[in-house]
Structure formats: C-alpha cells, structure tokens
Amino acid sequence: MKNLLLITLLAIAGAGTAFAQHASGGQHAVQAQAPASGAKTGTGTGLIQRIDKEGGTVTIKHGPVQGLNMSAMTMSFPVKDKAMLANLQPLQKVEFELSYDGKDYLITRIK
Ligand SMILES: [Cu+2]
C-alpha cells in the first residue's frame, strides 16, 4: 500500500517539468540552475521527520530519489540555505531537489 501511494505521488509530481527532465533525460537535460559540473541532481518526495534549524539539516522519510539511484529510506540532509527550513514542519509532505557531488548530498530546493 505504501509503495502504491508513493508511485501515485511520483506520477503526480511527474507532471512538473523539472521532475520529468530528471526522469527521462538524466545529465543531458540538466539546466542552468544545476549545480557545478560533476554534481548529479535528483528529485524526491517524503515526510519530514525532524528539522534542525541551527544545524541546517532536515530528516526526511523519503521515497526513491529519481536521478540519484537512492531507494526509499529515512535520512538527514543538509540544506543549501538554513532559511529554507523556516517554513517546514514535522510530518509535512515535501518535494525536494537533491544534489550529490560524489561525496555529499545537499538539498537545493524543498517545498
Ligand atoms: Cu536517502
């Protein structure tokens, strides 16, 4: 049941252009807003578990992250700008963009 819900959510998210590009085009479709060369980006959805406004991290129980080959799990991510955490709340359902430079993950957008 849980997986079915996720698939449904991802399908809905697929209507967005950014998501569609990650799903179908991979690196080739990355646009000007993408991080520096070498970094990969992906899009995921999930439920916020914990927010650390001082540390600048957010823990998300997320589904598979398209584009980064990450399966569903709960993990903590640093955000690009702590201000991004200001309006988030625990158990909020979010969509996020994640970049990975080969070493570290970074949330570049979350809503
Ligand atoms: Cu993860």
Gap from CA of 43 to ligand 1 centroid (Å): 11
Identify each DSSP E strand in 1-111 by its residue range: 40-52, 57-62, 73-78, 93-100, 105-110
- What is the domain-level CATH number for residue 72? 2.40.50.320
Gap from CA of 32 to ligand 1 centroid (Å): 25
Contact 97, 22 (CB under 8 A): no
Global pTM reads 0.67
Gap from CA of 74 to ligand 1 centroid (Å): 6
4-47 pLDDT, tens per residue?
Answer: 655 555 554 444 444 444 444 444 544 545 545 689 999 999 99
CA distance 44 to 58: 14
Query: Containing domain of residue 70, as a range?
Result: 2-110
Mean predicted confidence (pLDDT) in 82-86: 97
Q: What backbone torsions phi and psi does residue 78 show, to the nearest 5 degrees?
A: -75, 150
Domain count, the chain: 1
